[in-house]
Structure 1
Amino acid sequence: MSRIAVVTGSNKGIGFATVRALCKQIDNGVVYLTARDEGRGQAAVEELKKENLNPRFHQLDVNDQKSIDRLRDHLVKEHGGLDVLVNNAGIAFKHADQTPVSAQAPVTMATNFDGLLAVCHTLFPIIRSHGRVCQIGSECGPTTYVKISDELKSRFKNAATEQDVIQLMQEFLNSAKDGSLKEKGWAERSYGTSKLGVIALARIQAIDIQADNSREDILINCCCPGYTATDMSSYKGPLTIDEGAVTPVYLATLPSGAKEPQGKFIEKKKVTDFW
């Protein structure tokens, strides 16, 4: 059976390079390049076709549940399910941006955490046995973790359900809104906090998927691609987008029957445990 892969937010940057690599590595499969903007997504597909690659495009806005539902319905109708999901879509305010954290927090969280979670809730049920999921995290998650209070550290480390993580994200948003972040033990880091939530979420999702007896051999992990030269980093990162795609592609193509990594945070293809 052909393996079907989806990479969210993949018309540029690490997502684009991930699609390129998966097109080369998934034999006789189908790789979907997705983007919120159809024109940009189609242009990215055409660019890869010039390299004799053949990704397919499907519109996807992770902030729009109807858009996510349309992708799911298409995958079920055309392929009967999904095998590889790389949740890459994300946003970050520039360091020099003067927008207050009270305004940055809800916008950042809506895409990086809520949008990712919505994609997971919608697409996880159609992932087949031997499926692979890679949640794109960031080194900003661990560096944010060291700056929060011991109480919050403990809550992140011991979070056992999705709802535990959702509650933490909501408390961060509430504190950002009312100006009590420092008082409540948070760091004023919207992007880092959103990615910390994603890292914790992947650990829980991996445990939950193993309890699903209807499917087998599904691995869910989170990774840090590394500091990559993309528009998100103002092209300051030392890695090319293809270098940034190495670890996501590694997790997306773990061989059938692999037991590890599972629920881990991966940097440079190696497990990092910062909890």
Structure 2
Amino acid sequence: MSEQTIALVTGANKGIGYEIAAGLGALGWSVGVGARDEERREAAVAKLRAAGVDAFGVPLDVTDAATVTAAASLIEERAGRLDVLVNNAAITGGMPQAPTVVDPATVLRVVDTNVVGVVRVTNAMLPLLRRSQSPRIVNMSSSVGSLTRQAGGDFDTGPISGAYAPSKSFLTAMTVQYARELSDTNILINAACPGFVATDLNGHRGVRTPEQGAAIAIHLATLPDGGPTGGIFDDAGVVPW
């Protein structure tokens, strides 16, 4: 089996996910580009390869258990293990999302992608991660999910949201629970907050570039052994929750 570091990034065909894949690939890693859209996935792989990255496509829809299982099989056949998993795939569910008017079906759809999707992928990849010497899991959360910041009123957490922001609060809480369960292993799992990045997710209204947003994920993906686990971080350090 290859000794090259193997990573999988979900939702990696564009935006922050693509830049995470590019950044990890620049380290000499082999990076799986997880995405459900075949055309966009293969275009991203081609672009990464043209930049010198050892990239490979991974058909993956985080809401579809069959594709998640198939993705794990693909990585096992290719490398026999997984060193780093970055759970980046997410949706907003569209706006407005005021709790009094949001469609409950929208809440379920957002949670299915942003939280349950992370559980599906993480659990499918755990057997492969356990074979790594220094496994890392990074869950892409958001500072808009910070209950402290939302309740404090002195931090811009965006529009009132009955689906997206709570899904990120939920994801962060799930990250902590994973860290508790895996505390007796060498797996480090943390949540990353990329900031307000200009992507399709927000109609490119963000003030940060996707490359800037990817930096915290790359940092957490490359933590040394004995590094933090169960934490929530942005570029400035620990995010209050």
Instruction: Please give the secondary structure, in 2, of the residue aligned with 1:134.
Output: strand
TM alignment of 1:136-215, pairs within 5 A:
136-143=140-147, 146-147=150-151, 189-212=162-185
Aligned to 2:84: 84
Mark the runs of 5 or more structure 2 residues left unpaired by the alignment: 152-159
Supply the distance in 2 between the matched residues of 1:37 and 1:143 (Cα, whole angstroms).
33
CA-to-aligned-CA distance 1:211-259 (integer Å, 9 cap, x gap): 24xxxx321000111110001011011111100100001001112x2x2
Supply the distance in 2 between the matched residues of 1:43 and 1:13 (Cα, whole angstroms).
13
Aligned to 1:47: 47
1:267 corresponds to 2:240: no
Contact 2:34 2:60 in 1 (8 A): yes
Per the alignment, do residues 201 and 96 of structure 1 end up closer, same or farther by CA in structure 2, a change over 3 Å counting?
closer
Residue 144 (structure 1) shift: 8.0
Supply the distance in 2 between the matched residues of 1:18 and 1:84 (Cα, whole angstroms).
12
Supply the distance in 2 between the matched residues of 1:245 and 1:32 (Cα, whole angstroms).
16
1:249 corresponds to 2:218: yes
C-alpha RMSD of matched pairs (Å):
2.1
Per the alignment, do residues 188 and 9 of structure 1 end up closer, same or farther by CA in structure 2, a change over 3 Å counting?
closer
Letter in 1 for 2:163: S
Stretch of structure 1 that moved more, 43-52 or 134-143:
43-52
For normalisation by structure 2, the TM-score amounts to 0.88
Aligned to 1:175: none
Identity %: 32
Per the alignment, do residues 144 and 234 of structure 1 end up closer, same or farther by CA in structure 2, a change over 3 Å counting?
farther
Contact 2:147 2:169 in 1 (8 A): no
Question: Which 4+ runs in 1 deviate beyond 4 A?
Answer: 96-99, 143-147
Aligned to 1:124: 126
Contact 1:247 1:269 in 2 (8 A): no
Instruction: Please give the secondary structure, in 2, of the residue aligned with 1:249.
Output: helix
Mark the runs of 5 or more structure 1 residues left unpaired by the alignment: 148-186
